[in-house]
Amino acid sequence: MDIFGGLNDKQIEAVKAPDGPVLILAGAGSGKTKTLTHRIAYLLDRGVRPENILAVTFTNKAAEEMKKRIARLISENPKPPQLGDLFIGTFHSFGAKILREEIECLGYGKNFVIYDEDDAAALAKEITENMNLGDRFKPASFLNLVSKIKSELENGLPPTNDFYKKQFDDFYRMYAERLKAANAVDFDDLINLPVKIFKSRPDILEKYREKFRHILIDEYQDTNRAQYVLTNLLAEKRRDIFAIGDPDQAIYGWRHADFRNILNFERDYPNALVIKLEQNYRSTKNILDAAHEIIVKNAERKDKKLWTENLAGDSIEIVEASSERQEAEFIADEIKRLNKTENIGLDEMVVIYRTNAQSRVLEEACLYANLPYRIVGGVKFYQRKEIKDVMAYLRLIQNPSDEVSLKRIVGITGKRAFAANGPAAGWEELKESAKNLPPAELIKSVVKKTGYRDYLEKKFPDFSPDGELESESRFKNIKELIGLAGIYGDLGEFLHEVSLMQTERDSGKGKLLNLMTLHSAKGLEFEAVFIAGAEENLMPHSRSSRSLEELEEERRLCYVGMTRAKKRLYLSFAKRRFLWGEKKENPPSRFLMELPPTLVNFRSLADGYNLPEMDIEKF
């Protein structure tokens, strides 16, 4: 079989690297997956037994794609090896494999069960109720802290006299006891417990070291402390570890990933062979140069610079709009133009934004422009649970005969969801207030009187792809709805307009425009990329003001978004923006200021507006 077919010199060097520690710094669009799969095929071609190979990645989809590619590569071999014993999977599937074989040494039964997020949340809620903690201590916040501690292989919080810590310590102890009593483990235990087994039972560790002699880790920059320790325990004896990744694309700090694991690889393995994959096959030269100007400002990174044999291409378009609506309308119009005049398919274009709440105005622009679209990695704004819940209350206030809305409301759990008790006093009060309150104030009243925010915090305790608690992300969607409602003085008019927005203008067939968050865009590529909301406090997010570390992750997030583009890249910002129910007047993102004028074309849609802290002449 032709293991090296279609590979460039650096990729071939990586594939043929000798046994021992190898670090592959694979830039965006440089053929990372191709290099990794060819490396595995090369090991098999050398006669390495499939059961002696451990390849770990972060998603089941990535693992399946790798398996298919390897099968195609070795199919030309006269006697292809059987791949049934080759382990290619996620960290958690590998941890579950270890536990199925060894968990009894920790006092669990082999018939243990794995608690999913809902199971863990239900257990946490029961424990906090038994502790009589009231509303001061949220089960969701406790669970997030448990996950952080387990991901970092800690035993608990540092000793203090803090009352919160004492309550958490009690919760942590009871949570662990209840899990074990139920012969259950949670998601973090799938990594945490195998580490505990390996550290406490050298004989078991040695068995797996003998079994997995060649260890390959994909997306090494996204490993957390527990995953890092697990793989290094296995690799410690032979030191045959092949780590591939890109610290410039480390964007999952909120999931407890520690990109310093890849930065410190040469410290852990002083004789490591380091190979840089810097040739990019995706983007134009201008796009790569612009992205480099952003990422090079980060202090914590490995030096590399992507290059390409592709053409220089068009300038990066920097677009200033007077409002978020004008920004969205421009994006929709430009997408239609690219589709018509440059024959770029809708499915070959993407609109990217920092937070989910930004999608609402973009979706409306698509609907008005008759552009069929899909939300990648998410749900369309008006189809999101929290929006449909609140709208059900408003519809029932407007029309008490609306049985569909009544059934939805009754199905909402929560101590203060008054609809569950029939026509309670709160319901009558809401109906009465509807006569005098404009739609925006009425939504606020619904949220307050139903205790809906508390309900979200209990039901959605985990982090969203925006890097914040999902409950908070969902509540921001409600704030966005409040902002929209502020335009209307009449409830009936508002409901009518929202109904029109919910009407699909495409059949679901054919090519669809992509809308997604920056986090969801990682690993994808498109002919044309629009990044909306390139403003301070949005991109970079306002949370990044807390630390240089968070700002550098925001910079990496911007870099990831820019390097999704093949030929056309647009970054837009608005003079003023209604977001989360509030009027925002943020200056343009600092990232725009870092782009050389030779690479960009600036255009303003906001007549008579002078950009704050920005030299227009630069563009």
To the query of whether residue 249 is one of the catalytic residues in this protein, the response is yes
Residue 308: helix, strand or coil by DSSP? coil
**Nearest-angstrom CA–CA distance, 223 and 495:** 46
Beta strands 526-531 and 600-604 are unpaired
Residue 567: helix, strand or coil by DSSP? strand
- CA 106 vs CA 183, 195, 201, 203: distances in Å: 11, 12, 10, 14
The neighbour count for residue 321, using CB atoms within 10 Å, is 24
To the query of whether residue 218 is one of the catalytic residues in this protein, the response is yes
**Nearest-angstrom CA–CA distance, 157 and 172:** 10
With CA atoms as reference, report the closest residue to 535 among 612, 619, 443, 483: 612
Q: Which of 102, 189, 219, 320 is catalytic?
A: 219
Token representation of residue 594 = 């870092």
**Cβ-contact 610, 616 below 8 angstroms:** yes
Token representation of residue 54 = 């451990």
**Nearest-angstrom CA–CA distance, 254 and 609:** 37
**Residue 416, burial from CB neighbour count under 10 angstroms (0-12, 13-18, 19+):** middle
Half-sphere exposure at residue 75, Cβ-oriented, CA atoms within 13 angstroms? 7
Q: Which of 10, 32, 301, 476 is catalytic?
A: 32
Q: Which of 90, 231, 249, 284 is catalytic?
A: 249
The radius of gyration of the chain's CA atoms, rounded to the nearest angstrom, is 26
**Nearest-angstrom CA–CA distance, 298 and 554:** 10
Q: Where are the alpha helices (DSSP H) in 49-102?
A: 60-74, 91-102
To the query of whether residue 564 is one of the catalytic residues in this protein, the response is yes
To the query of whether residue 210 is one of the catalytic residues in this protein, the response is no
Q: Which of 33, 279, 398, 502 is catalytic?
A: 33
**Nearest-angstrom CA–CA distance, 85 and 80:** 13
Q: Which of 522, 564, 577, 590 is catalytic?
A: 564
Q: Which of 218, 248, 334, 363 is catalytic?
A: 218
Token representation of residue 435 = 């006569």
Instruction: Identify whether 247 is preceded by a cis peptide bond (ω within 30 of 0).
Output: no
**Nearest-angstrom CA–CA distance, 554 and 564:** 16
Strands of 144-197, DSSP E: 184-185
Residue numbers annotated as active site: 32-33, 218-219, 249, 564
